[in-house]
Amino acid sequence: MTPEILHPGQTNLAQLERLYRSGAPAKLPESARQDVDSAAARIAAAAAGTEAVYGVNTGFGKLSSLKIAPQDTAKLQKNLILSHCCGVGDPMPQDVTRLMMALKLLSLGRGASGVRWAVIAQIEAMLALDITPIIPAQGSVGASGDLAPLAHMTAAMIGEGMVTVAGQVHPAASALQQAGLSPLVLGPKEGLALINGTQFSTAYALAGLFDAWRMAQNSLVISALSTDAIMGSTAPLHPEIHALRGHAGQIEAAAFMRALLDGSQIRESHRIGDTRVQDPYCIRCQPQVTGAAMDVLRMAATTLQTEANAATDNPLVLSDGIISGGNFHAEPVGFAADMIALAISEIGAIAQRRVALLVDPTLSFDLPPFLTPNPGLNSGLMIAEVTTAALMSENKHAAHPTVIDSTPTSANQEDHVSMAAHGARRLGRMNDNLAVILGVEAMCAAQGIEHRAPLKTSVPLQNVMTTLRTTIPALADDRFMAPDLSAAATLVAAGTLTTAALTPLPEL
């Protein structure tokens, strides 16, 4: 697979999403080497000198006042890595791990970390040869860097710990040997540069962002199906309504939904003589709610693109010295993760209300109870709706901000932390829940639209229906439902339904 060339300081989210979804390797351009080599030479000179420089010839954290002899600097860095491999819990997903490694390339490529090019080459080679460190996902508080998970990544680079190669688990040392790579021997500051950064939190946040945006796209398509299923009005999509408010996401959401519903026979059938005056908010206010979520996701995206290109270790090699700062503090990532979580939760909250609307015969404008053609004998989608309520509630609880929950660590040296790591990590579970909610909505909406026959929905939405029905048949008599819910969630998560609409999607 052709490597994605990542230009430090200039890489955009589209490139990072390609990496995340494709599993392609990543490389830095040769043009980045001059600055990297220059900073490494300055670190080497500092290590050989007599002046104490944090992390180069001193201990770490609370032990930074202890000077380390020049002959012990390599041992210092290796000890740092081994002692910090304290992660616990399930391993990171491989796609997120590889994205994290690519983000570490970008950070080191800024030429402010002081590592040799050999460090960058080792990460590039492992990505190219599909050697992926097995990294426990719990243990970072998101300040002084994502220390534990990045230590596990670095351990694999030096031949410690375990990795996967083509899906098989191997000791890192033997995997490197079989691939023709030597374990990296860390030079001055290199261990610190590798673990002192926000790449774990940022990788999870980016993965959550990319999947949340796909959920927002699905929400617009599926809510258009729901609007037709309950014979809802398109009047609230009038462009002047949204222009008068002015929010970009709302305007874009309404325009996209207008395009999706244009030409629907169902819509045209009740323009005249419909006794209803207004639809419930979950139909009428979809542009205002999901459009606002889109705006929030774009704000988070701006932060995360900046962070993806940032030098976030400590100390940094600057124009006038090797200076300690605090770029390892993941507060921006923590805020972005909380914003994404709120957006995911709200997209699911309004979608769940549409599911409830569709299965309720008092609200669905003459659709059968629970969307079964033979209610009473059959329960139809009754408990599928209950499942969406359960998942909606889970996501509401998970959306509680994590960035506000600091605690001191490391003998109070690191006395305020971001908690960005688990703030970002929860996003995967929340998106999984949301995919089920939207998948069930799609099932309900399709069942409702088919009840309106011989009237048809629009061509884009009919395409979506056809795609859904190739995987999930219409519900007649009750059947074992769990596989249908799983299949619907997969269609949502993969973007299959949005692609089927053949209508240009809103872009992040």
> Which helix (DSSP H) or strand (DSSP E) does residue 503 occupy?
none
E-assigned strands of 300-443?
316-318, 321-323
Write down the pLDDT at residue 409. Answer: 86
pLDDT tens digits, 242-300: 999 999 999 999 999 999 999 999 999 998 888 888 999 999 999 999 999 999 999 99
The fraction of the chain above a pLDDT of 70, given in percent, is 99
d(CA 310, CA 125): 22
Query: DSSP code of 67?
Result: B
pLDDT tens digits, 418-441: 999 999 999 999 999 999 999 999
Mean pLDDT of the chain, nearest integer: 95
Q: Across residues 65-93, what is the average pLDDT?
A: 89
Write down the pLDDT at residue 59. Answer: 74
Does the pLDDT at position 63 exceed 80?
A: no
pLDDT tens digits, 461-479: 999 999 999 999 999 999 9
CB-CB neighbours of 65 under 10 Å: 9
pTM summary value: 0.96
Does the pLDDT at position 372 exceed 90?
A: yes
Q: Across residues 206-220, what is the average pLDDT?
A: 98
Q: Which residue is catalytic, options 20, 54, 204, 281?
A: 54
Write down the pLDDT at residue 62. Answer: 67
Is residue 381 very low, low, confident or very high in pLDDT (cuts 50, 70, 90)? Answer: very high
Write down the pLDDT at residue 320. Answer: 92
- Judge whether 391 and 433 are in contact, CB under 8 Å: yes
The candidate with the shortest Cα–Cα distance to 124, out of 30, 41, 189, is 30
On the 0-12 / 13-18 / 19+ scale of CB atoms within 10 A, 184 is buried
Q: Is 54 a catalytic residue?
A: yes
Does the pLDDT at position 414 exceed 90?
A: no
DSSP strand pairing (162-165 vs 316-318): unpaired
pLDDT tens digits, 139-190: 999 988 899 999 999 999 999 999 999 999 999 999 999 999 999 999 999 9
